[in-house]
Structure 1
Amino acid sequence: MTDPTGGPFGPSETEWLLDLMAVPSVSPFEGGKAELTRDAQRVFLDGALARGFTEVLHAGPPAAFLTGADVPAPVRAAVLADPEGFLAAQPSAVVRMGRPAAPEHRLIVNFHVDTVGPHIDPRIADGVLYGRGAVDDKGPGIAAAAGIAAAFAAEPWLAGTIEAQLASVPGEEGGAMGTYGTRWLVDSGLTGRLMLFAEPTGGRVMDACTAAMTPRIRVAGSDSTDDHPAGGHNATVALGFLADFLVRRLGPRAQELGAKLCVAGLRTGDAHNRVYGTGELLMNIAYQDRRQAVLLERELEDLLRQARAEFAAAHAGSALTERLVADWDEVIRFDWLKRGLPVLDNRDQKMEALLGAAGFPRHDGLADGSAFTCDAIWAGGPGRYVAVCGPGGLDTHGAHTPGEFLELAELARYARQIKDLVVRFGTHIATQEAER
């Protein structure tokens, strides 16, 4: 099935998208091979250039860009291990239509080419596209490319009035938080008057994004066997207790502040006949503003100090955990995989009106809790409006699940709306210039 109206998202764009989705560009922080992101960007660039786009940039940042404390720890570690190889395998690709223009005359659509794991090959059945990246985020990106190209083909005057850029970035998934994709592009000056992030929002504009911090709790103790279970520091017991303790104690506080606490992975081991003395517990805390983040950072660290006493009281007299109680301060470790990230919260009456006229109504995601974290957090700043808006939904279309999908009709509609938006943006800029 293709666009029944003969619109911009036709058979050629469908094939381009299928080729892009066939590349298993799973984030290296989700178990993927880093170089496959580079392969996916090549498919994107070849398709874009064939449709009349001009290459603006195809590169990654220097290693020195990724040394700050606000860069997630796994990213810093990957760069440190192989500075040239890792970043060469994770380039951003930016293309444009129209004349090179100052940021105030520029519209940018941004999407990410990396996916979560595992890879799922694409297929189409009964007008529905299935596979990894269908809704998050390759499908929306290619539909946006179709819409931009159609706008400039239909309205040649746009080329002398505005610049429309399409940015395909890596490093959005896997906790990388856009630090070596979107953040670097913004820092390099690739910003616009209107910056649209093609994430799945059900076609609604969200101009506020949460950020997230990730605490990690580890046990670095000694193993033992099932014949001597009291001889080890039982990491499974310790981390299980801490997961429950923090849900009970920090969970209500996060909810009270308007933040979201997720107790995520707990890893020790999977054999039945040993005590695991090492392991780790990961958490994720999404926050709406820096005040929330600071308060929850402090409260988490305070609660972890209190946890020792509660665990000792609960396990008094237990031979199985006696060693763990005695050595708690030596074997329980805590650090942050990421924190200190900014949030997005911006408004712009004129740009909101343009988006609304193109069929993208504004929605207050902070008010109803639907706002989510994405790499748009880096794009906010004076003179620009940053909006997150794309087809499908994270929860309704199986994003990050084996059943990820998106209707081709939704992609076709998004392409038409992007075409309309580009024309309206060009008209707005032309009118503004004529009035000066």
Structure 2
Amino acid sequence: MTVPVRSFGPRDVEFLVRLMDIPSVSPLEGGEAGQTARAQELFAREAEARGFRVLLARAPGPEVLDAPEVPLPVRSFFAAAPGLLAAQPSVVVAMGAPDAPAGRRLVINFHMDTVGPHLPPRLADGVLYGRGAVDDKGPGVAALAGVAAAFAREPAIAGAVEVRLCSVPGEEGGAMGSFGTRWLTSLGQVGRLTLFAEPTGRTFMDSSTATMTLRLRVEGQDSTDDHPEQGHNATVALGFLAARLAGELGGDRADGSRVTVAGLETGSAHNRVYGSGQLLLNIAYPDTGTGALMRRRVTDALAGARGAFRAAYSGNPLTRRVADDWDDVVRAEWLKQGLPTLANRDPAMEAVLRGAGLRRHTPATDGAPFTCDAIWAGGPGRYVCVCGPGRLDRNGAHTEREHVAVGDLAAYTDTVRRTVLRFAHAVGAPLHESTLEETH
């Protein structure tokens, strides 16, 4: 297997293919939990072989899930199978000065878990296909190669700065970084500059939304087609809620929030009235104030929906029972709420990134900010942004079309190399003038 690009060469491609071949599908997506640990072990061994130090390779204890911002489905999942959390380790590797303070530290974060189903890797015409190609093993391996290339180009920076790579689980499956990035941040795995290697078309995006998820349930009685009037018709009630909430909360919003009405489930038989079911509502918000406002709007919309349903359907024998018993059988529960968002600016670190040849992400041309683990990493004295090769939509992330061009990975490797060198220069490391000229 040969690749005509020296900055991301055959060794890098071979390692990435081996890493992608491990089906590290999140257990929250139905994957085997131990496969994530296998992938992390391979990553740590390869990083050591390239000269990195392994600073951490373990999973958190169960107390990491006790915080109220941890999504309810995550807490419930691991409470039912507590041993699985131990098979979800994070790995942190480093190169450079081990005693460098956080102000002279650059951190790169990527996630090892994937969505399901697993898609085995294949390389064709310079394009790598398979699960994790662009989300997020490909960017992680390219970043590893870029950091190593920077220290090889300028060994003198090893005494002045430290670069850490954090490989985390728990990004997919709705985990929201709760037992990966969130935990590492609490341990101090942060720096003056932190890059999250997610697909942005190699722009740097210094804001990230968060999401909250509401589950609407009907918990009533079923009935047969012989007596449909005896059941609490969850299908009609939830279908009504889906349509009404889409109308009241959907559409383009000036405040930057986005609403998705999804996941309606009752049943599939033709000769039965289903008395139970659920509907999911997902809301992305750019800041906590907007999140609180959207929660109030949802509460008001639900109150209005109750009255509207009763007015429209209490006289219909097929729906009278669910209309009359609405307060007893219709329930709303927030599965995910209270997550922070990211919105930060830093002229000095932005200059580092521009000096490395990057431009700032512009929503009008590059798409709206998306939700990722970066929400946990912000804080005083830190600049956090998302920057990676490819685009989530164009490269088929989360679909059977997931792919990335090896050339895009090579370009990102060069981006990381230039960023490391520019960062080192910005915090006082000695660099040859020829090296700085190369980073433009």
TM bracket, shorter-chain basis: over 0.9
Where does the alignment leave 5 or more consecutive residues of structure 2 unmatched? Answer: 432-440
Specify which of 322, 325, 328 is matched with residue 324 of structure 1. Answer: 322
Q: How do 1:95-114 and structure 2 match up within 5 A?
A: 95-100=93-98, 101-114=100-113
TM-fit CA distance, 1:365: 3.4
Paired residue for 2:128?
A: 129
How do 1:39-50 residues align onto structure 2 when only pairs under 5 Å count?
39-50=38-49
Are 1:423 and 2:428 an aligned pair?
no
**2:178 & 2:248 partners in 1: Cα distance?**
31
Aligned to 1:382: 380
Measure the CA separation in 1 of the matches of 2:387 and 2:364.
Answer: 15
User: Does the 8 Å CA contact 2:5/2:407 hold for their aligned counterparts?
Assistant: no
Query: What does residue 170 of structure 1 align with?
Result: 169
The equivalent of 1:292 in structure 2 is: 290
Render the CA deviation track for 1:210-252: whole Å, top value 9, x for unaligned: 1111111011111122222222112111111111010111225
Aligned to 1:258: 256
**Paired residues of 2:114 and 2:131 also in contact (CA < 8 A):** yes
Residue aligning to 2:266: 268
Following the alignment from structure 1 to structure 2, what is the Cα–Cα distance between the partners of residues 205 and 2?
30
Match of residue 208 from structure 2: 209
CA distance in 2, matches of 1:126, 1:431: 40
Extract structure 1 runs of 4+ deviating beyond 4 A: 366-369
Match of 2:403 among 398, 402, 405: 405
Which residue of 1 is the match for residue 81 of structure 2?
82
Using the TM superposition, give the Cα deviation of residue 15 of structure 1 relative to its aligned residue in structure 2, in angstroms.
1.1
Q: 1:368 to 1:128 in 2, by over 3 A?
A: closer
Deviation string 1:309-336 (CA, Å, 9 cap, x unpaired) is 1111221421111111121111111110
Q: Which amino acid aligns with 1:295?
A: L
Alpha-carbon distance in 1 for matches of 2:60, 2:122 = 34
> Structure 2: how far apart are the matches of 1:140 and 1:132?
12
Aligned equivalents of 1:398, 1:268: Cα separation in 2? 30
1:262/1:283 contact within 8 Å kept: yes
Output the CA distance in 2 between the equivalents of 1:399 and 1:2.
Answer: 25
Q: Is the CA contact (8 Å cut-off) linking 1:116 and 1:400 kept in structure 2? A: yes
Q: What's the CA shift string for 1:111-132, capped at 9, x where partnerless? A: 0111111111111111111111
- Residue 51 (structure 1) aligns with: 50
Do the aligned partners of 2:157 and 2:429 also contact (CA within 8 Å) in 1?
no
- Counting aligned pairs with the same residue, the percent is 58
Q: TM-score, normalised by structure 1?
A: 0.95
Aligned twin of 1:6:
6
Structure 1: runs of 5 or more not aligned: none
- Corresponding residue SS for 1:255: coil
Look up the equivalent residue of 1:62 and give its one-letter code: G
Deviation at 1:367, TM superposition (A): 9.1
* SS of corresponding position for 1:136: coil
**Most deviating of 406-415 and 421-430:** 421-430
- Give the equivalent residue in structure 2 for 1:303: 301
CA distance in 1, matches of 2:2, 2:17: 13
Query: 1:233–1:277: 8 Å Cα contact kept in structure 2?
Result: yes
Query: Per-residue deviation at 1:197?
Result: 0.3
Q: Contact 1:392/1:410 (CA < 8 Å) preserved in 2?
A: yes
Which residue among 274, 278, 281 is the counterpart of 1:280? 278
Distance verdict in 2 for CA 1:244–1:368, change over 3 Å: farther
Q: Give the Cα–Cα distance (whole angstroms) in 1 for the partners of residues 178 and 104 of structure 2.
A: 25
Residue type at the aligned position of 2:51: G
Query: How many corresponding residue pairs?
Result: 430
Offset, 1:90? 0.9
C-alpha distance in 2, partners of 1:272/1:358?
A: 61
- Do 1:234 and 1:277's aligned partners in 2 also have CA atoms closer than 8 Å? yes
After superposition, the CA RMSD in angstroms is 1.7
What is the distance in 1 between the residues matched to 2:114 and 2:60?
A: 20
Contact 2:54 2:94 in 1 (8 A): yes
1:94-243 to 2 correspondences below 5 Å: 94-100=92-98, 101-243=100-242
Cα-to-partner distance string for 1:184-218 (whole Å, 9 max, x where unaligned): 11110111011000000001000010111111101
Distance 1:362 1:402 in 2: 30
Quote the residue 2:23 is aligned against. Answer: 24
Cα distance change on mapping 1:139 and 1:367 into 2, 3 Å: closer
Instruction: Give 3-state SS (helix, strand or coil) of 2:318's partner.
Output: helix
- Give the TM-score of the pair, scaled to structure 2: 0.94
Q: 1:421 to 1:340 in 2, by over 3 A?
A: same
1:61 counterpart SS class = coil
1:226-283 deviation digits (Å, cap 9, x = unpaired): 222222112111111111010111225x724321001121111222222221111111
Deviates more, 1:14-23 or 1:221-230: 221-230
| Alpha-carbon distance in structure 2 between the residues aligned to 1:2 and 1:262 | 43
Letter in 2 for 1:152: F
Mapped to 1, the partners of 2:220 and 2:320 lie a distance apart of 13
Contact (CA 8 Å) 2:156, 2:430: kept in 1 or not? no
Distance across 2 between alignment mates of 1:24 and 1:199: 19
How far is 1:423 from its partner? 1.5
2:435 aligned partner: none
Q: In the alignment, residue 38 of structure 1 is paired with which amino acid? A: A
Q: Please give the secondary structure, in 2, of the residue aligned with 1:430.
A: coil
Per the alignment, in what secondary structure is the counterpart of residue 417 of structure 1? helix
Greater mean deviation of Cα atoms: 183-192 or 300-309 = 300-309
